Amino acid sequence: MASALLLAALALADPVAPPIALDALFDFSDPAHCVPAPAFQAVLDKLWGWSSGQQAPLAPEPYRAAFGQVTRIARNNGGVVMSVSIQGSWQGLAVTGIDISRPPGEARGFQLVFRAPAEKVAATLAPLGFEETTMKVRADTGELSAPTPRLVPQGDLTALRCPLPTVKAHHD
């Protein structure tokens, strides 16, 4: 009888919700150079803001539920990495997280991490305007890379690494 009740309860339980689609949020204004569109840039800025104690929600509803715990990692070289776990999808790829970092003396950069092999990520990115020529396998490291963007295989994960544009002051 107890097992019949358990089976009945399981049958009535909500099925596992599909991952939240982040396609509209994680948009790029210039995919060939990996430049985030304003909504995605706002997420990255809020994530970086956590490094100085600002703890604003990273994303608007209905995307907020896809974002997990934010972690701050101090590097031995003086750099900082802010990381957030994600349970969502982008262009059909499972997204597991975003990291944003700033090594000492360098511009900030970010990586969007997918649970997919690099070849599948590259095949997904190419028709979206991410230049296929920027995603060739480097013989020395095995990375799919170029100046920007670059794909970095990490076991069963692949990171799309991008520099963030810097604003230079104009001097007359």
pTM for this predicted structure? 0.76
- Mean pLDDT rounded to a whole number for the chain: 79
Can you tell me the distance from the alpha carbon of 114 to that of 121, in angstroms, rounded to the nearest whole number? 8
Which tens digit of pLDDT belongs to each residue from 39-48? 999 999 999 8
**Is 25 among the domain residues?**
yes
Give the 3-state secondary structure of residue 60: coil
Pick from 60-64, 121-125, 166-170: least confident: 166-170
Q: How many domains does the chain have?
A: 1
Find which of 13-17, 35-39, 49-53, 151-155 is predicted with most confidence, using mean pLDDT. Answer: 35-39
**Is 45 among the domain residues?**
yes
DSSP string, 106-141: S--EEEEEESS-HHHHHHHHGGGT--GGG-EE-TTT
**Is 116 among the domain residues?**
yes
Which tens digit of pLDDT belongs to each residue from 68-111? 989 888 777 778 889 999 999 999 999 999 999 877 766 678 99
**Is 104 among the domain residues?**
yes
**Structure confidence at residue 4 as a pLDDT band (50, 70, 90):** very low
Domain that holds residue 156: 19-139+148-163
**Is 36 among the domain residues?**
yes
Q: Which two tokens stand for residue 4?
A: 């019949």
